Structures are given as C-alpha cells and as structure tokens.
C-alpha cells in the first residue's frame, strides 16, 4: 500500500480538520460530521434531526433551493447528507480542482441555512413517505424497533422519526436544534484525495475561523423502555431480530469481536449462511453485524423465513451464536483475515471511504488509524484471542423481536 500522509489540524474555535493527501488520484471526498442526530430530538418530536438535515440543503446563504442544487451540480459534486443517532453527516466527492469552491458552498449550508417555512411541507411529505415505506417493509421496521429495545434512550431514538410526530414539528424546532448542536468545537471535517493540505487549511480557516460556539449539552441517558418481543403483522414471512452486548469501536478487543462476527456472518462461507441457510434450508436470508455507539456495542442478527420454519430458525441460530467459541477453526480465521485485507486495499483506492473512515476514527478514538495499523491489528488476531473473546462476550442478555402472524417460543434465549 502507498504510504499514507495524514494531517490533523484544529482551528481555535475547535473545528477539527483531518486531511489525507492521495496524490495518485484526481478526485477528492469531504465529509462534515456535526452533532445533532436523532438523540437530540425532543420527545413527541422524533424526526426533527431528519427534517433539519433535509432543509439544510433547501437554501443557504445567497442560494435558494434550486440555486444551491445548481451550484453544486455545476461543480460536479456528488453529495449527500444523512441524520444518524449521534451526528448529521454532510459531504460529497468531486474533482480535486473543485474542492475549494465546494467547501465555500458548504460553509453556507453549515453556517447560514435558510430554514424556509415554505420548504417544510415538502420535507415533511418526504419524511412521511419514507416512514410509510418502512411500515410496509418488515425487515426495515424490525431493525428500527429492535434498536429501541436494545439501546438506552435517547440513543435508541428512530433516526427517520415517527409518523405520529412529524406533524408536531415546526420550523422553530429545527432552528432551536440547529442553534444547540451546530457549532465548530464538536464538528469534524475530513478530506481525502487530490488536495494540498497547507492550502486547504488556509481555506478552511478563511471559511470557518470566525464561526462561534454556543452553549451545548449532551442529551441525558435514560433507561431502556420495556417493549413486547413480538409485533403481530399479517406478513408473508416471519422476521426475526436479535441483539446482544458486544465491545464498542474503541475497545481494545474490537478486532477480536470483528473476527468473531466475520466468522459468524462474513460472506457465503460463514457459519450462519452455511449452517442455517444452506445446509438446513431454514431461511432465505440471515446475517449478523457488529454495531457500535460511542461507549457500547451490540451484535445485531436478522433472519427472514417462512412461518412454519421460524421457530427452528430461531433455535438453530441461537445454538450457532452460543456455540461459536467451541469449535473455531484456523481456516475460518484465515478467510476472515483475507476478506479484511482485500477491503483495506479497496479502501485505499476510494477517497469517499477514506474520508468516512477518518471521521469515524476521530470521533471514536480521537486519532486516525492508518491502513498499515489496521493491517497489523488484523494480522495480530489469533484463534486463541477470538475464542477468548467469544467466551468473555457470549451471546447472553439477548433482546429478541419478531414480526409476523404469531410469536415464537423464546425459551432458547434463556
């Protein structure tokens, strides 16, 4: 891999700038990570962050809605924005020669959004359509509802909002959340690709150096609310979701956890795919993934199956989750490490992947892991270390949720 050159700079107001120069590419990607996700939504107004994210690009500074879209299109910016549980992410990719002009436009988006009341009805209509589509898609609905059951509030708040709440949200709610959350001290800008770091830092200073901070408070964490384990719905399939505690991204055992879940659900040779889907034919899809908040993590599992095979799918999946530490093989670990190394090589060739990885690393770790460092950590994982992790963090304390005509027997979780 080419040697990585990463520069880290912090403005006096606290804005953090992460830069990776990639002289072998012509494109550049940039990503702003700003506090203000759904965790900051007020009760009965879930969806404020999602609507605020939409309106940020419906007019800012000297640009109206269409003028803003046209200005970015003229630069060839392939942009996007999204609201997560903790942050709002804004950014895009373009030719390196267009970066400074693009950042000048994003300065207006971040610092001078219009929040035009006339744009709110269209934004609400879009949110309502999305939420209704989730209601019509049981797998998506399952993941939203499972999150509510496995994370404390407000980190379990639905990122897209709730149908019953969208109508309660007004422009003043968006403005209040914007004033509370959008400030430089907690904002991260990452840039990767064809860029001169020194020139970029000077440009960012000019754009954001006089951006002032305001009062900011993290949301209070509350206990997990109690919910039923089954949602009765007349579906053609039964949808099964499970979640159980795991280490977070900043934990020193994270790569052991990553390998364990990779063996469980990383590709067509993984255990869940071969032992539950292929050999037994119990389900049409099954997966497990490692999910992390700032200080806690979860393994999240999903299976979709026919009603008559749902109970067996649950029972067999549970046996696989709890039996993972008993018979791990070196061949499984080697395949898992090979997939990781291929992914690292592809990430090195993607400016968007590098920009996203830097913001993630800085938020969780307050440092940037180079691809060489990750490569070393992947190689350092051993069969013994993965086995020890599985024994230390077994599939206990599970949260189960099913969607379908009838509930399942959850006694296998005990």
**What residues does each domain of the chain span?**
5-208, 230-413
User: What pLDDT score does 2 carry?
Assistant: 62
- CA distance linking residue 107 with residue 207, whole number of Å: 6
8 Å CB contact between 76 and 98: yes
Residue 107: the pLDDT is 98
Structure tokens at 28: 């550049």
CATH 3.40.190.10, domain 5-208, yes or no: no
Confidence band for 267, pLDDT divided at 50, 70 and 90: confident
Topology of domain 230-413, CATH: Cytochrome Bc1 Complex; Chain A, domain 1 (3.30.830)
Backbone phi, then psi, for 188, in 5-degree steps?
A: -120, 130
pLDDT(223) > 80:
no
Domains 5-208 and 230-413 equal at CATH topology level: yes
Do residues 398 and 414 touch, judged by C-beta distance below 8 A? no
pLDDT at 228 over 90: no
* Alpha helices for 44-98 (secondary structure H): 48-56, 65-74
pLDDT given for residue 217 in this prediction: 77
The candidate with the shortest Cα–Cα distance to 35, out of 146, 167, 187, 243, is 187
Give the tens place of pLDDT for each residue, 7-38: 999 999 999 999 999 988 999 999 999 999 99
Average pLDDT over all residues of the chain: 93
DSSP state letter for 23: T
For 282, residues 6+ apart whose C-beta sits below 8 A from its C-beta are 276, 303, 305, 309, 312, 313, 316
Residue ranges of alpha helices (H) inside 235-393 are 254-265, 271, 310-322, 330-348, 351-365, 371-380, 383-392
């Amino acid at each position: 891999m080419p040697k990585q050159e990463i520069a880290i700079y912090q403005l006096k107001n606290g804005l953090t700038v992460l830069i990776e120069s990639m002289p072998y590419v012509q494109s550049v990607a940039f990503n702003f990570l700003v506090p203000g996700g759904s965790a900051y939504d007020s009760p009965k107004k879930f969806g404020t962050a999602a609507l605020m994210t939409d309106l940020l690009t419906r007019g800012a500074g000297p640009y109206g809605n269409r003028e803003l879209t046209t200005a970015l299109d003229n630069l060839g910016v392939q942009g996007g924005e999204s609201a997560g549980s903790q942050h709002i992410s804004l950014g895009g990719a373009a030719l390196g020669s267009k970066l400074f002009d693009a950042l000048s436009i994003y300065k207006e988006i971040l610092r001078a959004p219009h929040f035009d009341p006339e744009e709110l009805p269209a934004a609400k209509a879009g949110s309502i359509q999305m939420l209704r589509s989730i209601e019509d898609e049981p797998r998506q609905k399952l993941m939203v509802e499972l999150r509510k059951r496995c994370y404390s509030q407000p980190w379990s708040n639905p990122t897209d909002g709730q149908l019953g709440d969208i109508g309660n949200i007004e422009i003043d709610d968006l403005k209040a959340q914007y004033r509370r959350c959008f400030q430089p001290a907690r904002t991260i800008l990452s840039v990767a690709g064809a860029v001169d770091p020194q020139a970029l830092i000077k440009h960012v200073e000019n754009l954001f150096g006089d951006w002032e901070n305001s009062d900011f408070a993290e949301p209070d964490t509350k206990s997990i609310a109690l919910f039923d384990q089954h949602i009765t719905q007349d579906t053609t399939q039964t949808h099964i979701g499970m979640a159980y505690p795991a280490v977070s991204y900043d934990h020193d055992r994270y790569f052991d956890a990553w390998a364990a879940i990779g063996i469980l659900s990383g590709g067509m040779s993984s255990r869940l795919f071969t032992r539950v889907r292929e050999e037994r034919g119990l389900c049409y899809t099954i997966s497990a993934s490692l999910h992390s908040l700032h200080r806690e993590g979860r393994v999240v599992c999903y299976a979709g199956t026919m009603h008559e095979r749902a109970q067996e799918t649950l029972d067999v999946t549970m046996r696989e989750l709890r039996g993972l530490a008993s018979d791990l093989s070196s061949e499984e670990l080697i395949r898992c490490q090979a997939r990781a190394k291929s992914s690292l090589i592809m990430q090195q060739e993607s400016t968007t992947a590098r920009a996203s990885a830097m913001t993630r690393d800085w938020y969780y770790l307050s440092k940037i892991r180079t691809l060489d460092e990750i490569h070393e950590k992947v190689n350092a994982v051993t069969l013994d270390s993965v086995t020890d992790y599985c024994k230390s963090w077994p599939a206990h304390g599970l949260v189960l949720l099913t969607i379908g005509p009838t509930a399942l027997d959850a006694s296998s979780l005990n």
